[in-house]
Structure 1
């Protein structure tokens, strides 16, 4: 009996076990069998097995025909999406957004917010005045088209006080601000536009360069970096040829080596020009730069002209003697400042001056230029070292002693100062002779010429007190001019 059982067990071990399956097991095996039957060839089975594996984008394999079976179609879609390394763009429906164009090809524009019907495509952002224009598709319906290839999208809080504002800067330098009152809406559009920018830039291989104010694409030469059939993963923007985009996309300017070379060249040329430029003396000898009259030292000007009284002062006094002694407010009324400056420029640049010309017919222009000449002197007609002695002299109460003291001080002045002062005060004495017609008095002339003919070297004292003494000194010399300058003995 024991031997019979052993033999039965050995025979049972040699035979294959019976196929016993649960209902779930059998259904799964049937599905596998249907899949095997649906495959028409070994090549189809190979494609189905490989469709579950992501291929390397860097290796180029021959594409095989895609099965039209619904299951296989979905599998192949997964493969393509993985190989492209980015998701397909989901276009947004049109929506009203607040848009402001602040720059057109680098030229700043006034910021005007406008509610625009906005549409987003794979590589463009379209703005319409209203939804009807977008649906009508008329030729002139589009208000503006923003090319997203190579653009830069960033949130901004500096360009506008509104909230939820982001900026789009195109590859031609145009700048747009987009805003929505809803933060979620603004965020959705921001991410959608950024995704469109990335996808269009990758699809175009780095985006073609465009001319400003044009949709014309510039051709890329084969010698330019990045030209050729490089894969999207290895392509990088070259800062040299993408300088216009980097300039608007970053806060700091990125200069290429060519820019630095140009700057060095300009610096070198400027250095050579400065080293080789002629001296002031050479320019004066050639007559290119003439010595000034206004602002020149009185002694230097007289030495240059070979006189003791500057010619310009003599010409002005002669012109006033000829046609200004009876003019109301002579020396008190101001002339046209622009005309006075024009006269000053002519005097500094030209030798010949005719004050009888029609353009100087206003005598107040001549008197204004004369007063300007005295104010422009580096040292006044009454030299700095004589300011305090004249102040002490005018304080003397006894008349004869005061006259002798002032006369002695004037005789100590340099010859150009002394002769110019004598000529000026003798002229002002003649002006006083017509005081009934010109309505000028000694006090009025003292107020006009006091701060013009003398001032302290340092404004250490009281300005108001100094001005009082300045007026008194000029007024006293004017009253006693015949005695001080010996005008009767002329």
Structure 2
């Protein structure tokens, strides 16, 4: 979703065009945009607003045609959390931008922003994208981030050929899971997978031990690979990869014929 405007749940019409403000500042600078409801005012009423995530700031407008933002949420130093939907909140897909996500820096915001998406998927996408913006300077937000961007950042910690999360998962699976039945087929503990994902996305580096469920680690690795914007084998290299595989098959066949 980087560098494009994603519109979800417009209360006016589908397939809307980006606002004049977005066109003026350039589509390439927009990470995400769409309709959200924002709680505000003394009586905490809900208002539909057009949100635009650009750089490390979240702007909100009266509608997508407005050129002047009603307000701005400065993201560095904050954290974003999602609310579980239950009871009276059923059908409300809520998340908050809260001051104090980064303990090393003071935030310019001293206000909590409660926002509501139209669907669960929309809420999760917003949370993931905002979290990536907040923590990317610290090596976080790696789920859904381009593989080359993660590797480029992590090279400051050593000459890595793969993301540290991948190395950590693979090393653990090789040590504890090669004899495990149903590896990469049986699911892990969904709540623990989510906790580990959030921890890695927040720039933390959680460790595994002998008590960690290997299926949970395998599920975490599968989730990371599934959320890559582009597969490990890039689209533009796919045909070359197939051609290489065919050459290897021919070589194997020639060896079998010669030894037979």
TM-score normalised to the size of structure 1?
0.24
Higher RCO (C-alpha under 8 Å, 6+ residues apart): 2
Higher strand proportion: 2
Higher helix proportion: 1
TM-score normalised to the size of structure 2?
0.43
User: Over alpha carbons, which structure has the higher Rg?
Assistant: 1
